[in-house]
Amino acid sequence: MTALCPNCGHIPIRVPPTHKCPECGVFSHEWMIYDWESYASSRRQHLKCNILIIIMVVINIVALVTFESSNVFFWMLNVLSIPATISLFLCLNDLRGQAEYEGHHSRAALPWFAGFSGF
């Protein structure tokens, strides 16, 4: 895995654990990482999670309609299908674009639902 310092363009073997460039000494979270295999692996994992979320939403809808539930909380859980579907198509698009791959940032490894971890 190679990386590129966003400040000076230095190319170390990997991103330093401190995110501080050994060449110019500037700290940054915006390192560009060039490793298609790790990027594709994380995208495949996101794809699996999105499919699982969509399946759970479909099961939820079937259960709500079958039991004629009027619980608003369970109906609002179906809204999760919107970002899961968008992310699913973006991940599929990213996996098809190996020829156009020009690197990724470290934040690309986090799925969209990682923001819910504090709840």
Whether the per-residue pLDDT at 85 is higher than 80: the answer is yes
Domain boundaries, the chain: 1-34, 41-111
3-state helix, strand, coil in the chain (%, to 5): 55, 10, 35
Whole-angstrom Cα distance, residue 50 to residue 98? 21
**36-66 vs 81-96: helix crossing angle, rounded to 10:** 150
pTM: 0.79
Look at residues 50, 47, 29 and name the one whose alpha carbon lies nearest to residue 39.
47
Per-residue pLDDT at 45: 94
Q: Poorest-confidence range of 32-41, 78-87, 99-108? A: 99-108
Per-residue pLDDT at 53: 94
> Which H or E run includes 53?
helix 36-66
Per-residue pLDDT at 106: 75
Instruction: Please check whether residue 97 is in contact with residue 43, taking contact to mean a CB–CB distance below 8 angstroms.
Output: no
Q: Poorest-confidence range of 23-32, 77-86, 104-113? A: 104-113
Q: What is the DSSP letter of 14?
A: S
